[in-house]
Amino acid sequence: MAKKKIIPQSKLKKVNPSGKQDQSFFEQVYEIVRQIPSGRVTSYGAIAACLGTKLSARMVGWALNGTDKINPTVPAHRVVNRVGLLSGKFHFKPPGKMERLLKGEGVLVKDDTVVGFSEKFWDPGSNVLM
DNA sequence: ACCATGACTAGAA
DNA sequence: CTTCTAGCCATGG
């Protein structure tokens, strides 16, 4: 019995008897983040809003806390706060990897903040085509 | 059930 | 402009 599990994937089995939300809050966040196209970024609030709980943007960030160890890889580096600040850069294995990944996708990062955030912003519920 | 924490956000001073 | 307060929901002790 694991004493510490960052990602409660085990709890993913805790489905609702009502048959509504089969997946936990985390997995929903993971799927949204994985839908973020390269070179695009989004905010925690946008993801939370897409899930229906826009007021729980904190949970989104918290869910991404273990995206580094789950599989498949989740581009958490494309998720920033509402102002485009890489608030979670320190949560990456090597701090700065987040910024490096963004630059690798064509997203310029200045002072830990995404340049042209409004232009590169991608709405998770707007359109998956892009 | 209660309290504390958290990669947030919006509003007020 | 900066700084603080309050609300928010989910998880863990």
- A48-91 pLDDT tens trace: 988 878 788 899 998 998 888 887 889 999 999 999 999 999 89
Query: Using the CB atom, is residue A84 less than 7 Å from strand B?
Result: no
CATH number of A24-120, picked from 1.10.238.10, 1.10.10.10, 2.40.50.140, 1.10.540.10:
1.10.10.10
For chain A, what are the domain ranges?
Answer: 24-120
Burial of A68 (0-12, 13-18, 19+ CB in 10 A): middle
CA of A88 vs C1' of C7, distance in Å? 22
pLDDT tens for residues A33-56?
Answer: 999 999 999 999 999 988 878 788
Q: Which nucleotide's C1' atom has the smallest distance to the CA of A43?
A: B8
Q: Can you list the alpha helix ranges (DSSP code H) found in chain A?
A: 25-34, 44-51, 57-63, 97-104, 117-120
pLDDT for A2: 30
Q: Report if CB A61 to strand B is under 7 Å.
A: yes
For residues A113-129, average pLDDT: 84
Q: State the residue for tokens 């310029």.
A: A108
The predicted pLDDT at position A108 comes to 94
Question: Closest residue to C12 by CA to C1' distance?
Answer: A4
Query: Is A14 a residue whose pLDDT tops 50?
Result: no
Packed helices A25-34 and A44-51: angle between N→C axes, nearest 10 degrees: 120
